[in-house]
């Protein structure tokens, strides 16, 4: 299966790891993963997402990863196994990129150390986990990883993130994708048609009952998260048959089963809070421009997209200065969004301000140059 942030639809293949070759962006030259039927993630809320550009011999592969500290990344073993010293020196970690090709030079970090779990077996896709140390601190807010003995209950709301292709044989997404899925096996159940190839003690089975959302090519090693008092890493994109196929969900490495090993290698402590079935509302909004201050002139509009990436309905409000908004407040259902149009209040030059508030707290704020005004 190919791993990604969106649901993936693809042809049946043999069980495989999920890395995507960087040299052939529309066709996987190696086992890979992607997200199918996902939505654009809010990058302000995913500082811990890492894209790994892995060199292996004469090829480069793309995988996902999760920063659990400013120096350590969790990824899939199949993404980094067998790397030589030369391969490691040629590989890079890119922290929270816009897409596969757009990121500041400061986001790129070299690799100091790669540690693959000693029990990893490619032919079984077992113990598919590794940790990577960077040569310098990453500019990130780390994501905690789970060590709960009983984790990901049946039906638990989960989210997978990735930059892989969004349909079999398709192209890469223009931004990081998020797939809203759920646990389909619990801690002891079966996983679709995989029979005894699926091991619930070290693997996690996640998707939707109809198979519509999945990870796929290019998403291997990426994060699967749940809610344990806070957003927490519970799985690593690993393998599957095809992409987004009913009866064959995505299979992820169960992070809690390897928590002691992760802490032993990295010194980073885990989150021991048990996972719940659902998390709270997570209302966010991306900035409507890529510059320090946005700009708008009379008769023009700026579009602010407010999204609820959480599991509960969430209320929001927008407060503006020197600007008018098409909507000032509302309640968003889980996994939904709304567009707010911002306009100049009049024809005068000014520095406008916009604040998105959730439950009274400001979650996004930015300035707008109105009619050429200075900010």
User: What is the C-alpha to C-alpha distance for residues 344 and 302, in angstroms, rounded to an integer?
Assistant: 9
Known catalytic residue at 128:
yes
Nearest to 241 by CA among 193, 206, 202, 276: 193
Cβ 330 vs Cβ 256: under 8 Å:
no
* Active-site residue (options: 220, 238, 256, 257): 220
Q: Which residue has the tokens 């020196």?
A: 89
Give the count of alpha carbons within 13 A of 87, CB side only.
Answer: 17
Instruction: Please tell me the distance from the alpha carbon of residue 159 to that of residue 278, in angstroms, as a whole number.
Output: 11
Determine whether 180 is an active site residue: no
> Are 338 and 305 spatial neighbours (Cβ–Cβ below 8 Å)?
yes
DSSP state for residue 83 in the 8-state scheme: -
Active-site annotation holds for 117: no
Task: Find the distance separating the first CA and the last CA of the chain, reported in whole Å.
Answer: 49
Q: Provide CB contacts within 8 A for 352, sequence distance 6+.
A: 296, 320, 321, 322, 323, 342, 344, 345, 367, 368, 369, 370, 373
Whole-angstrom distance, CA of residue 216 vs CA of residue 223: 13
The answer to whether residues 332 and 306 touch, using CB atoms and an 8 Å cutoff, is yes
| Radius of gyration (C-alpha) of the chain in whole angstroms | 21
Q: Which of 187, 167, 190, 169 is nearest to 179 (CA)?
A: 167
Q: What is the DSSP string of 166-197?
A: SSTT-PPPSS-EEEEEEESSTTT---TT-GGG
Q: Is 337 exposed, middle or buried (0-12, 13-18, 19+ CB in 10 A)?
A: middle
User: Which position among 127, 128, 214, 311 bears the catalytic label?
Assistant: 128
Residue among 55, 69, 78, 214 flagged as catalytic? 78
Burial 75-107 (b: 16+ CB within 10 A, else e): bbbbbbbebeeebbebbbbbbbbeebeeeeeeb
Catalytic residues: 78, 128, 220
């Amino acid at each position: 299966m190919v791993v990604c942030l969106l649901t993936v639809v693809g042809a049946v293949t043999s069980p495989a790891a999920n890395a995507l070759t960087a040299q052939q962006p529309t066709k996987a030259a190696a086992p890979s993963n992607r997200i199918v039927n996902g939505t654009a993630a809010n990058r302000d809320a995913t500082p811990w997402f890492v894209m790994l550009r892995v060199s292996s011999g004469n090829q480069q592969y793309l995988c996902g990863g999760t920063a659990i500290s400013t120096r350590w990344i969790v990824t899939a073993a199949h993404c980094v196994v067998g790397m030589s010293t030369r391969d490691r020196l040629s590989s890079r970690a890119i922290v929270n990129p816009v897409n596969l090709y757009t990121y500041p030079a400061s986001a790129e970090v070299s690799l100091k150390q790669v540690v693959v779990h000693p029990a990893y077996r490619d032919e079984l896709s077992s113990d598919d986990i590794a940790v990577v140390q960077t040569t310098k601190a990453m500019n990130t807010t780390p994501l905690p990883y789970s060590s709960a003995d009983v984790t990901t209950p049946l039906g638990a709301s989960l989210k997978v993130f990735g930059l892989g292709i969004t349909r079999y044989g398709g192209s890469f997404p223009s931004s990081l994708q998020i797939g809203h899925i759920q646990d389909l096996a619990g801690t002891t159940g079966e996983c679709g048609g995989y029979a005894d190839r699926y091991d619930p003690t070290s693997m996690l089975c996640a998707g939707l009952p109809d198979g519509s959302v999945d990870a796929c090519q290019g998403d291997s090693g990426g994060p699967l998260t749940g809610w344990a008092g806070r957003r927490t890493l519970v799985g690593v994109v690993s393998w599957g048959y095809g992409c987004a196929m009913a009866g064959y969900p995505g299979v992820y490495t169960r992070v809690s089963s390897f928590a002691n090993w992760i802490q032993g290698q990295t010194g980073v402590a885990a989150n021991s809070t048990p996972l719940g079935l659902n998390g709270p509302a997570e209302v966010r909004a991306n900035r409507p421009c890529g510059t320090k201050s946005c700009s708008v002139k009379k008769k023009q509009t700026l579009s602010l997209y407010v999204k609820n990436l959480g599991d509960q309905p969430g209320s929001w409000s927008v407060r503006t200065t020197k600007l008018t908004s098409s909507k000032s407040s509302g309640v968003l259902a889980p996994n939904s969004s709304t567009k707010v149009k911002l306009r100049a209040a009049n024809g005068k030059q000014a520095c406008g301000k916009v604040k998105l508030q959730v439950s009274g707290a400001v979650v996004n704020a930015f300035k707008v140059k109105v009619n050429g005004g200075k900010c």
